[in-house]
Structure 1
Amino acid sequence: MNIEKAIPEDNIRLTEITKKSKAYWGYSDEQILSWSNNLTVTMLYIENNPVFKLIDKDEIVGYYSYIRQENQQVKLDNLFILPEYIGKGFGTYLMNDFLERMRIEKCQKIILDSEPNAEKFYGKIGFKKIGEFETSIKNRFMPIMELNL
């Protein structure tokens, strides 16, 4: 298992991972389709943002990406793994790589908008909920979380 910088041509595989990972939480095909624009990883996105892919046995099985902001703050924009890898330590492996990268880059604060079903995962790592916002699904709220390094 290793983590490498993604290349623009990985966009189709990363989009597939994103959609499959999101569907894992029980969202309907129609809901995933309605979110298609938000769940699509474009070549341009990979060119303009740090994106790192997790490779297991020569296959991309997950990735994360982030956006640098002002005042040594970073937004974790994506962290997705294939459903068959969820609950087996792969997400933690990705997160540890991300956190180490942030320490090297002297980042002081990380923020993220969490999938509601992943809030516990981020909480175990030390992220604290600082707010929330309602999504396109009535009565579904996305936690806004932060971690100070």
Structure 2
Amino acid sequence: MKIEKATQEDHQVLTEITKKSKAFWGYSAEQMTIWSDTLTISEEYIETHFVYKLIQENQVIGYYSYYFENEKTIKLDNLFLLPEFIGKGIGNQLMTDFSHRIKEIPTIEKVLLDADPNAEKFYQKFGFTTIGQLETATKNRFLPIMERNL
């Protein structure tokens, strides 16, 4: 497996991974349709964010993306795997790569993310703590807001 910078040509495969990964958690088809635009990775998104794809045997199986909130804070915006790779330790490889990459940026003091509720425990394993909740457009649904100080 290797991790490399995504290109704009990857936008469709990254969108497919995002949608399949999100659906893995049992969200309804109706909910997935509502979220379709939010879960779409555009060519422009790849151009304006830091996006890294995970490749196994010439197939993109996952990715992560981030951006700078400010000079001291990075926002981990996405981390998704194809469903058949969830729960097999491969997400750990993405998080490890992300962690190594941002440690090379001397001004960064913390990382923020808005987690899917199903992924909160995953991020806790990497030292993230829940500091709040983000209300979503879906009634009575909140995303954990998490942070990790470096």
Pairs within 5 Å for 1:98-137: 98-106=98-106, 107-137=108-138
Q: Which runs of 4+ in 1 moved over 3 A?
A: none
Counterpart Cα distance in 2 of 1:25 and 1:138: 18
Match of 2:7 in 1: 7
Pairs within 5 Å for 1:53-132: 53-106=53-106, 107-132=108-133
5+ residue gaps, structure 2, are: none
Q: How far apart are 1:72 and its partner, in Å?
A: 1.7
Counterpart Cα distance in 2 of 1:12 and 1:29: 19
When normalised by structure 1's length, the TM-score is 0.97
SS of the counterpart of 1:51? strand
Pairs within 5 Å for 1:4-43: 4-43=4-43
The answer to which structure has the higher helix fraction is 1
5+ residue gaps, structure 1, are: none
Q: How far apart are 1:58 and its partner, in Å?
A: 0.7
Q: How far apart are 1:69 and its partner, in Å?
A: 1.9
Counterpart Cα distance in 2 of 1:75 and 1:51: 12
SS of the counterpart of 2:125? helix
